[in-house]
A and B are shown apart, each in its own frame.
Chain A
Amino acid sequence: MRDIIKNEWYYLIRNRVLQIVSIGFIFILSLAVYLGEIQSDNQRKQYDVSKKQLRDSWESLDSISPHGAAHYGTYVFKPTNLLSSLDEGINSVAGNVLRVEGHVQNEIVYSESSQMQAVSKFGKLKSSLLLQYVLPLFLLFLAFNSVSSEKQSGRLKLLVLQGERPVKLIMGKVISVWLYGIILMIATVVVHFILNFSTFSTEMAGRLLFFCLSYGMYYFIVSGLTVYFSARWKNATVALTSMLGIWILWTIFLPSIVLSTVDNWHKLPSRNTFQTAMKEDRSKGIDGHNPKDERGEKLKEETLKKYGVDSLIQLPINFDGIRMQADEEYGNKVWDKHFGGLRSVLEKQKKCYQIAGTISPFIALQNTSMGFSGTDNFHHQEFLIQVEDYRRRFIKSLNDEHAFGGSKTGDWSWYAQNDFFKSIPDYEYYSQSLSTVLPNYFLDFIVLIAWTTIVGLLLFFGIKNMRIV
């Protein structure tokens, strides 16, 4: 087998056209990583400047009531992801800015794609674009006549007569084409590693390993299937056109058809319906700004009883802060219910999409590529949950200061000091560890492994009764 692979490689290396194409490919892949890196770096700088500017505004707050500060609020920007220079995923459509304030849980806004007219349906020139769409096509062109040309020249017959097993020959061809894809992919990863040497971590290495594994499996599927067609079909053109048809189906048709269909199966509510339902549920709770609210009255009685006093004036604390925190906590429950519902629909959609990998391994590849790059919807949702957790801690600190900082009920002119505002920590994003991310892509991995096994079996058993002339 090793000799067959070696021989195939000699043939590939000697081919002048392939040499030029390979150099061109490595160049464009490196360029894609490099440009992706510059773009991510620019965005990172923009992120740092924006974050600092708004933090400075927050830290300069003085002589303002804690509740005034809750309305003033702060903003959280979505940071660039670990490997976003390799695969941008949903970053350009998902929004970048989230307002954090009292009473309201805002949505993430200002996506990059909303800031200009349409340019590219398939996103920016990231390595993933070339590795997912272009490289498999290239492998397909390398493999489609690998066996049929041997048949036509009579070499295959000669080799078999010399005692070589056809399966071995075919597997050798598959592996040599597959290795070509793997080398180009590794070249991409190496360039990425060189450009990110200073920030490279074991976490990134782990993610890259799984990233490469999923691409490796996909390349084997494409190479194996094309070589199989080349061996089965009499004519190389038929092998090429069949595989092209499959490629078009897998990469162009199915992903968008499946996602559109899944979107119809598990429907997301319209913004208006969603907000009306949230507003209705929210109205059943305490109104933090309305002292005459019934539920607020009940809380008042409980607080008076707790402190053993008869009126709000006698309270050693500021009841307004307690009422507003109760309002927040009720709002949090409403948020959990409704946004939890949204997330559950999105999870169902994702699950269906992952299952669709059984008809198109490209879907599984796309999922794992985005996932291990940290740019998919799972990571996005995790970011939104982290921000909401931060919002709750942020608002609670302000309400607690309002309630227990030294003011009395009804005293809205009591101001917290600058030190207090400075003491509230800024938002920090914690990227998910690989161990928490892996279970999300278990299904995609199973799908890719299943496809790899099926193609392997097809090559092993399907070739046995192949005609060698």
Chain B
Amino acid sequence: MRNLSTFLYEWKHFVRSPFKVIAFLMFLLAAIYGLHNGAKLYKTQLVEIDTIKQKIEKDREENIAFYEAGEKGPKDKLWIDITKPFWAIWLGKTYLFKSPSPGLVYSTGESEQYGFYKQVSIWASTMDSDMTKEIANPERLQIGMLDFSFALLYLLPLLLMILLYNLRSSEAEENFLMLIQVQAASINSWLLSRVIFYMLLTLLSVIILLVYGAMLTGVFSSNSSIFNNLFLYSLLYLVFWGGIYYLILRNGRLIINNTLKMVGIWLLFTFVIPAISLQWISIRKPVNYMVDYIEASRDETRDLYDLPDSIILDRLNILFSEPLKGSEEEKEAKIRKVKRVAFAALANELIKNKVESIEIENESKNHSVRTTYFFSPVTFFQNCFNKVSYSHYDDYRQFREDIQYLIDKQIKVLLKDSWNEVIVDKDKYIDYTKELVKVD
């Protein structure tokens, strides 16, 4: 009952303080703006994927028309023979998409750092230049998009600070504390009730914002765990800041001192610690210029062309579980026919090994980032939000792994069918277009 009356009084305090009300409204506006930014990115990516899918569909219809007309391909490109597995797959255009999660509305995470679609071919690699970000203003990327997670991570602690900065200390400065002690029995529980009131007010606004965001991209209909997880992390984050501010207010007597401490802590956790962590990681593990990858994809791949057929054949047999069958003469004749695919297969192995070491190096950087979590809560929550919205580094690494899986699959199918001199008809072509995009 006492708590309820404290809440009611606090509500009166709140609505009578224009500074606090304006700060609260500004937070709401920024968060809504952030939600719309996230929703816009989500919709833009969906539209882009849809455009590409339509183009693929159109191209495939044209190719099917070639089969139906008994033609081997476009008349101005006589070297194309669509009945051969190589050209059928080449023209079939296999794409893999990283469909945006509706959770993007909450946190755009690292989605602007990486590509979200990729044309898969036997010569593709997960480090190709088309795997990079969409065309964007680098200064905007550097400053960062104002998304909902930005509002939560940086503005919510500020809002809470503005709402709480003068609790207890204003009474202490006006010598009312003794009077309050007489009325409320315990100053600390009275202060706690007031802090909880503002935390509940903020939490309520966060819930409303989360629901509003969910409606923008259909979070509930697609994956309600996004909402639940984000709510949980938001609650924990709010409790974290509420707890820190409560301790400052409990132990401080002057408004100015409390404000200084709160701003100091906010600066420390949001700016200084993450910045020092990043600088430290960057010094220990400098940016990778990808020279090893470049050399593998260019020089070492080029050296493959000098290999004798017998060695190519041996290497292919080691690579694939199903050995390439036939008599020695047949093998010699066939390897010449499938050489293009054979080189692609061997180059893919070379590149894959280099990519693996790059991924390991990146993972060691990520490991270093994770070790900062226990003293850099903002970094921890930022990555939690990114994970919930499937826009974390790991989600894009998974996307790269899926691409690699499809590259391997395409090479295997192409090599096998080319070796067996499969004649591709309409059904086989359709089969390719369906099978080669499946990530098992």
Residue positions of A touching B, CB distance < 8 A: 28, 35-36, 38-39, 42-43, 46-47, 49-50, 53-54, 57, 72-73, 75, 77, 89-90, 92-97, 99, 106-107, 109-126, 129, 133-134, 137, 141, 144-145, 236-238, 240-242, 244-245, 248-249, 252-253, 255-257, 259-260, 262-263, 268-274, 342, 346, 349-350, 353, 366, 370, 376-377, 380
Assembly CA distance A242 to B114 (angstroms): 40
Q: Is B279 in contact with A93, judged by CB distance below 8 angstroms?
A: no
Residues of B within 8 A of A (CB): 19, 22-23, 26, 30, 33, 37, 44, 48, 51-52, 109-110, 113-115, 117, 127, 129-146, 150, 153-155, 158, 162, 165-166, 255-256, 259-260, 263, 267, 270-272, 274-283, 286-291, 294-295, 298-299, 302, 361-362, 365-366, 369, 372, 376, 379, 382-383, 386, 392-394
Q: Which residues of B contact A109 (CB under 8 A)?
A: 129, 131-132
Q: With A and B bound together, what is the CA distance between A114 and B372 in angstroms?
A: 19
Known: A47-B289, A257-B33, A377-B137. Contact between A120 and B142, CB under 8 A? no
Establish whether residues A90 and B287, one from each chain, have CB atoms under 8 Å apart when the complex forms.
no
Most chain A CB inside 10 Å of its own CB: which residue of B117, B287, B372, B382: B287
Q: CA–CA, A244 to B48, complex, Å? A: 42
- Contact assessment for A119 and B278 in the assembled complex, using a CB-CB cutoff below 8 Å: yes
Nearest Cβ distance between residue A73 and chain B, in whole angstroms? 8
Main secondary structure of the interface of B (DSSP, over half): helix
Given contacts A96-B287, A114-B114, A240-B256, A270 and B366 within 8 Å (CB-CB): no
Contacts of B272 in A (CB 8 A): 28, 125, 134
Among B127, B280, B386, residue most surrounded by chain A Cβ atoms (within 10 Å)? B280
A93 partner, pick from B127, B142, B255, B382, beta carbons under 8 A:
B142
Chain A to chain B contacts (Cβ below 8 Å), 13 pairs: A90-B142, A115-B365, A118-B109, A119-B278, A125-B276, A133-B271, A137-B267, A141-B263, A144-B256, A253-B146, A263-B137, A263-B140, A270-B44
CA distance A332 to B369 in the complex (A): 43
Q: Provide the residues of chain A in CB contact with B277, threshold 8 Å.
A: 119-120
Task: Return chain B residues, CB-CB under 8 Å to A134.
Answer: 267, 271-272
The answer to whether B274 and A248 touch across the interface, beta carbons within 8 angstroms, is no
**Is there contact, CB below 8 Å, between B150 and A121?**
yes
Write the nearest CB–CB distance from A313 to chain B, whole angstroms: 23
B369 and A116: CB pair below 8 A?
Answer: yes
Q: Known: A72-B302, A90-B142, A133-B267. Contact between A256 and B23, CB under 8 A? A: no
Minimum CB–CB distance from B65 to chain A (whole Å) comes to: 21
Cross-chain contact B144 with A35 (CB below 8 angstroms): no
Tell me whether B386 and A118 are in contact (CB under 8 A): yes
Q: Is the CB of B23 within 8 A of A257?
A: no
| CB–CB A35/B113 < 8 A | no
Distance A270 CA – B44 CA, assembled complex (angstroms): 9
**Are A256 and B372 in touch, CB under 8 angstroms?**
no
Instruction: Give the chain B neighbours of A273 by CB distance below 8 A.
Output: 51
The answer to whether A95 touches B139, judged by C-beta atoms less than 8 angstroms apart, is no
Judge whether A115 and B267 touch: CB under 8 Å. no
Say which residue of B153, B288, B302, B392 sits within 8 Å of A117 (CB atoms).
B392
Contact B158 A115 (CB under 8 A): no
Residues from chain B with Cβ under 8 Å of A126 in the complex: 275, 279
Contacts of A376 in B (CB 8 A): 139
Q: Which of B26, B274, B362 contacts A121 (CB 8 A)?
A: B274
Tell me the complex Cα distance, A17–B23, Å.
Answer: 30
Cβ–Cβ contact A124 & B275, under 8 A: yes
Residues of chain B within 8 A of A366, CB atoms compared: 143
Query: Which one of B113, B277, B290, B291 has the highest number of Cβ atoms from chain A below 10 Å of its Cβ?
Result: B291
Contact A260–B140 (Cβ < 8 Å): yes
> From residue A26, how far is it (CB to closest CB) to chain B in Å?
15
CB of B255 to closest CB in A, whole Å: 5
Measured between beta carbons, the chain A residues less than 8 angstroms from B382 are 118, 121
